[in-house]
Amino acid sequence: MFKILKTYYLYQWIVFSILFLISALFRESVNPLSKDILVSQIIAIILTLFVGTIYYFLDTKWGPNERTKRLKKTPFKELLEIGFEVKENQLIGTFNDYQVLAQYQWSGTNGKPSIIIYTLFNPKIDHRFIPEIKIKDLNKKYKKQRYNWTINSVSYEWSFNFRPPKFEKIEEFLVDSVKYVKEEKLEPMTLSDTDKIHSEYLAFLEKNK
């Protein structure tokens, strides 16, 4: 219960509370200041309950339902046709020996529905983790393509209003991302390996502080 309150209501309440408190303190009013402050906080609580509840249902009910429906449509439909499978509200498959994740977000980076494709790779070269500076360099090198490189994946996000990207766009990213990953000499890695690798990487970062 506390987690729900913290996630969906606390931040909104803080924002509304501060905004209405400032308004009560600085606007001219015939009412006593204490009354204006009390009214402002009541309004803040009402708005918090309204906005937080909508956010809760979007995130836990409507969003997941929309994701399930979307995974049956283009461009996910074409991915299923070439061997991808639905696992934990996303598609997982292999393209040219590299494991790929395909996700639908009802509210992506731009606040719009989006499709994100991740091509996974092993963050180790010759049994050593690639340094953080390497990730920064990769993001600079492929800035024109607007690819996002992390320690174990390269991804692209397509935001849209009504029509999602065509499968040809997804396929183009798959081809190019695997090509670039191979050029950088980054080996394949499966999703099942990520937890172990992530733990090893955190230990590596701690050791090299």
186 band by pLDDT with thresholds 50, 70 and 90: very high
Mean pLDDT of the chain: 86
pLDDT score for 61? 67
pLDDT at 62 over 70: no
pLDDT score for 16? 86
More confident residue, 106 or 136: 136
Strands (E), the chain: 85-87, 90-95, 98-105, 114-120, 124-125, 128-129, 148-149, 153-159
Question: What is the pTM for the complete model shown?
Answer: 0.71
The mean pLDDT value for 106-113 works out to 78
pLDDT digits (tens, 9 = 90+) for 16-61: 888 888 888 877 777 888 888 888 888 989 998 888 888 777 766 6
pLDDT digits (tens, 9 = 90+) for 63-96: 667 677 788 889 999 999 999 999 888 999 999 9
102 band by pLDDT with thresholds 50, 70 and 90: very high
* CATH numbers and ranges of domains, the chain: 2-69 (no CATH), 74-207 (3.30.1460)
Q: CA 75 to CA 89: how far, in whole Å? A: 15
pLDDT score for 81? 94
Q: Are the beta carbons of 168 and 176 closer than 8 angstroms? A: no
Q: What share of the chain in percent tops pLDDT 90? A: 41
